[in-house]
Amino acid sequence: MKNVLIIGGVAAGATAAARARRLDNDVNITLLEAGADVSFANCGLPYFLGRDIEYRSSLILASEETFHEQYRVKVHTHTEAIAIDREKKQVKALNTGTGEEFVFPYDSLILAQGGKPVVPPLPGVNKEHVFQLWTLADMDRIDHYISEKEPKKAVVVGGGFIGLEMVEALTKRGIAVTLVEMAPQVMPNLEGEFAGFITKELLDYGVKLKLGKSVEVIEDTKVILNDGSTIDTDFVLLSVGVRPTLQLAKDAGLDMGSSGGLKVNDQMCTSDPSIFAAGDMVEISHNVLGKNVRMPLAGPANRQGRIVGENALGGSRTYKGVSGTSVVKVFEAVAGSTGLSLKASRDAGLDADAVVVHKASHTAYFPGSEKVSLMLIFDKKSKKVLGAQVAGRVGVDKRIDVIATAIAGELTLEDLAELDLAYAPPFNSPNGPVNMAAFTAINHDSGFSPSVLAQDFEHFVMEMQPIAIDLRDPISYGKANLRGTNNLSQDMIRENLDKIPRENPIILISDDGQKGHVVLRMLKGAGFDRVFNVSGGYISLERYARAIGFQYLQVGTYPIVKKSVEDSKQTKAEENADETETLDSDGPIILDVRTPMEFEMGAYPGAINVGLDSLQEWAEGIEDKNRKIIIYCASGARSSYGMRILNQMGFTNVENGGGLHTMMARG
């Protein structure tokens, strides 16, 4: 009987275990997890801290008991693999709780150790008010600290995904937040104007930004930045990057890759044919860039786990690479990207170009419509789509996913323009943001309607010295404008064509670029040759000015709009708070630890509903620690955690009843 040994759970490892069992009912599958939790929703941790997710138990995906009951996988938590003997095909492991060492044999070994947060070597980094967020235990420590210490001010270091999500979470907990980011913008993977969209949202919600700066020292009541300035704080969250967990693989002599991850082939096999790897620790092929990269994202990790679970049993499934598709929500603002940015495309030596459109998420006359901003990046020679950046409040993920699919299919601008996408007024426009971006790119690339990106605007102006005409209405122009521009309507231009110098280049600025295109074609038809449109209009200029800034040009920004979040510190009274007073003196206590909504849909006869998050408080009212307690949930995962809580409190006669179906089968 074949032995498949998996080191690491969560995304890749847990998925690999489940996939292997579904393919082979007889193989021995063993999973070693260094931490306490084998499978949990780590992407959801900030949302629980911000109380968007009400129940901590919702983050628990599977437990040791679940894996054994459903998949017959032997899970060993608190078990750290310390050495791989490739010749004997054995792994030495240490139980970190007891100190015991074990040896596990394997025929196929899967490494899924993921990564760990980078801990910068700063003075004060180990103080009790300094945190990182990576595991459920990290989340619990943060939640406990906020509840007990009630911090008033927080510093979040790092403006990436977790950093921004934690800025929102802490703000929702009533804490004043300052964000420190070493790069000159938040979300460094985004182009400047898209980072500007997120920047405005942060400022609107009262978040203070320290960009282009780093923390040098953490003290008890403040942090000191590299410019000598200080920020008063009683809470610090570090989110400055993730480093792959590679020591075990390095000690075993496995080949490392050029980007700093573990090297694997397209079947996720390492340099040892018996050892496979997946998740944040490996480097994989970027299907646009054409070279290996590290891409620590949950989606790729899960899909890789599925592949190694099959190939470890002798399969030959290949992993086709990654486009780097990602999305982040900050308060009500959403931004994401797929494929290559324009900068990454050009840095890679590609002859790339881009356009920007701001198009309604669905027909403007239907309630709830919001502008979706979309930058479409393409190869000028092949016309293939290379990437996209998208921002807005409604329908952002939909557009990112469409472009990601287009990249996978190697579609061109013409293909994208003719995509037959779903339309009805509540969902899209007849020509939605994706179609419009493709139309605009074709017009620009062909010279029919040439445009200038916000990031290239200053260079264009300094070199070409154009006549700049702002086509917006006077009210919009008065709120914010580029100093030195002429505020003219389309009709005024049409009536005064003879007064416009024909020897000068003309650059047109409209609200979102659409009217600029119309006027450009009018001027071209009137014989003006050198006419250009600002791609994305003043919206793009303003966002770029806010995030990156212009060295010479004076581009006005819109005023900050004061927004606030509702205090999410709301608790619901448990309907069974007094159940302990009416418990039968004989027989077992049947606990249902599902949510109240789940409980109301049906429960085991005589069961009482105590949410897993309220279990400890409920149990404090039970005096008899030897009382028989049977605890169940929907699948058995949450009940195993409940059993652990009760055992830690001294209860000696607790049984995991598993899932509801298992309980009902008891009769």
Q: Give residue 579's pLDDT.
A: 40
Tell me if the pTM is above 0.85: yes
pLDDT for the residue numbered 575: 40
Burial 193-219 (b: 16+ CB within 10 A, else e): bbbbbbbbbbbbbebebbbebbbeebe
**Mean model confidence pLDDT for the chain:** 92
CA distances from residue 358 to 22, 540, 575, 629 in whole angstroms, order as listed = 46, 9, 49, 59
Helix spans in 319-432 (H): 342-347, 396-408, 413-417
Residues 392 and 372 sit within 8 Å (Cβ to Cβ): yes
pLDDT of residue 574: 42
What is the predicted pLDDT for the residue at 594?
87
What is the rounded distance in angstroms from the CA atom of residue 496 to the CA atom of residue 228? 56
b/e string for 415-440 if b means 16 or more Cβ within 10 A? ebbeeebeeeeeebbeebbbbbbbbb
In the Cβ-directed half-sphere of 23, how many Cα atoms lie within 13 Å?
A: 19
The dihedral region occupied by 508, where left means phi > 0, alpha psi between -120 and 50, and beta the remainder, is beta
Q: Cα 592 to chain center, whole Å?
A: 33
- Per DSSP, 500 falls in state S
Residue with tokens 């250009």: 532
Residue ranges, the chain, pLDDT below 70: 1, 566-585, 667
Give the integer Cα–Cα distance in Å for 200 and 261. Answer: 35
- What's the Cα-to-Cα distance from 213 to each of 180, 207, 425, rounded to whole Å? 6, 16, 45
Residue for token pair 């020897």: 503
